[in-house]
Amino acid sequence: MDSQLRPIIPNEIILALAFFGVLMIVSDLLTIPFQWYSTFVIEEKFGFNKTTTKTFILDKLKGYVLGAVIGGALLSILIYLVNTLGPDFWIWFGLLAASFILFVNMFYTSLILPLFNKLTPLGDGELKSAIETFSKKVNFPLENIYVMDGSKRSAKANAFFSGIGKKKKIVLFDTLINNHTQEELVAVLAHEVGHFKRSTSFGVT
């Protein structure tokens, strides 16, 4: 592929973008049948799948656009630093990568997630009060609580939190709220908060 692209693309940055872009798209296209089978056959068989063909296709297209914008920008900067700084490129790119990861952790729920799912603030009531009471009890820095339309894709229930420092946001799947008691919901959150308290990797409920 490099030998085919290099004669027609003299610019190193554009060449790198084209090379990895083609590689990523071809690789993803080859795995689409397996993704389709997993969603529309296996998940459907056990009653979990709620994804429509339209949602599946839109998710793929949005993923391509995000990959092109974010991945393309990072790759362009990396190639530029390699060509400009030589062996010392990794220092500056490391700082950039760390800043990008920090940014994503801070704004994932407010900027990226809404592109795929609808987030609605949890209304006042017993559930919200129970979550806030638990958060205060364990000193979890809670800022907002949202409900996500997880039923748009799956019947599985889950919850997670995002954010850094004292700006934590809790996201509850609507399937979790619809299928579990208040006590069970708080228990699920306790599991997620446990990851935060013990600095362990995030699990799926």
Active-site option among 12, 126, 132, 192: 192
Strand partners, 58: none
Give the Cα separation of 117 and 104 in Å (integer): 17
Q: How many residues does the chain have?
A: 205
Neighbours of 12 (CB within 10 A): 13
Strand 168-173 vs strand 142-148: parallel, antiparallel, or unpaired?
Answer: parallel
Is 132 considered catalytic here?
no
Determine the number of helices (DSSP H) and then strands (DSSP E) in the chain. 9, 4
Backbone torsions φ then ψ of 159, nearest 5 degrees:
-155, 155
Whether the CB-CB separation of 124 and 147 falls below 8 Å is answered with no
Active site residues: 192
